[in-house]
Structure 1
Amino acid sequence: MEGVSGGASDASANPLAKWRIEFSRAFQYYLDRSTPQPVGRWLGTAGLALIYALRCYYLKGFYIVSYALGIYLLNLLIGFLSPKVDPELEVMDGPSLPTKGSDEFKPFIRRLPEFKFWYSTTKAFCIAFCMTFFSVFDVPVFWPILLCYWIVLFVLTMKRQILHMIKYKYVPFSIGKQLYNQSRLELVRTPCDDDDWNC
């Protein structure tokens, strides 16, 4: 029993540990509150990306950091656009993407959910921004070559991803809620209203 009470007194006696716990709780609280606000979250990340781009532009450097950031963001985007269960890689006994029109409808589940995609993107911009304060990361390099290489990599990767979407007939985006008209049994896409209890 003494070990348990002694550990609690050590945590309360150490102000750094107490501050860390309080900061972690506050951070998690605001992270949880931001979850249902995707537009606000992405606008904040866009603002952070703009600040990072302006800092690199005015410093005229840190091209390697920007290139690494671009590669990491491309990797995140591929995870965001890919299904959780890739039909090319795994044969699953459970639910998978339908490959024919007669197959049963299965919802698209992302390999990287939107919230984790946003969180990882924001964290990457924060880390890259902090790296611009250390001159050791400002490696002199001819930046047009890096930019051309990244563009070629982006185009080839997106081409492969789009061909994968066409082959397995899935779209990673949905706009509005799918509703079926009872009289003609046709699919109607409508935006979901907050006051509509059927949404």
Structure 2
Amino acid sequence: MDLTDADEGFQASTNPAMKYYGQAKAHYQFYMDKITPHVKERWIGLGVMIAVFVLRIVMSQGWYVVCYALGIYLLSQFLAFLTPKFDMTLQQDEDNKELEAGERASEFRPFIRRLPEFKFWNNAFKATSGSLIATLFSFTDIPVYWPILLAYFILLFILTMRRQIQHMIKYKYIPLDIGKKKYTAHK
């Protein structure tokens, strides 16, 4: 340990803001570790939180830009969740080279997401929480004609999902567990 490491540790322990930040971060990580295995409960909680946010937007008839920004962010996170981590075009080129050389790739290649499920949920939770907090301040309520934002979001959603579905069909992968067989251990 050199002198700068000891000096930084000393400053962090004497600075009350840094000490509080470190404690808050440790508490946050503790609770994130506890709720990680509860997948259904996490997503139900996020759904309730988004429903409360939408109810807040509808009842107050404001904060449409905040709602639009949240929608765009959640859409980008969802696309990262559906997208494979590795480029399928490179994998297909490797498979074609192996077939041309007379070797058949028989190894199982699992679907690995660009954005794992827990990070997707965590990012969505943080963004929804931030959006709910933003609706508490009047300066974030920017006047805008909301039907245009809604139409643009729907168009953006349709175009991006169409492209994603075409990619899934072209490279023959299913990113969701819907319809997949589940195997159980026999006793």
TM-score range (shorter-chain normalised) is: 0.7 to 0.9
Match of 1:170 among 167, 173, 179: 173
Amino acid at match of 1:83: P
Amino acid at match of 1:190: K
- Partner residue, 2:66: 65
Match of 2:182 among 166, 190, 197: 190
Residues 1:157 and 2:149 aligned together:
no
Higher fraction of strand? 1
Match of 1:107 among 93, 96, 110: 110
| Matched ranges for 1:8-157 at <5 A | 8-88=9-89, 91=90, 103-104=105-106, 105-157=108-160
CA contact 1:74–1:154 (8 Å) conserved in 2: yes
Q: 1:56 to 1:175 in 2, by over 3 A?
A: closer
Unaligned runs of 5+ in 1: 178-188
Q: Shift of residue 18 of structure 1? A: 2.1
Q: 1:28 to 1:175 in 2, by over 3 A?
A: same
* Matches of 1:92 and 1:73, distance apart in 2: 28
Count of equivalent residues:
178
* Matches of 1:25 and 1:197, distance apart in 2: 40
> Identity over aligned residues, as a percent?
44
* Matches of 1:126 and 1:33, distance apart in 2: 19
Which one has more relative contact order, counting CA pairs under 8 Å at least 6 apart? Answer: 2
Summarize deviations over 1:131-183 as a string: whole Å, max 9, x none: 11222221111111111111111111111111111100000022587xxxxxx
* Matches of 2:4 and 2:147, distance apart in 1: 61
Which moved further from structure 2: 7-16 or 142-151?
7-16
CA contact 1:176–1:191 (8 Å) conserved in 2: no
Higher fraction of helix? 2
Unaligned runs of 5+ in 2: none
SS of the residue 1:26 aligns to:
helix
Normalised to the residue count of structure 1, the TM-score between the two structures is 0.77
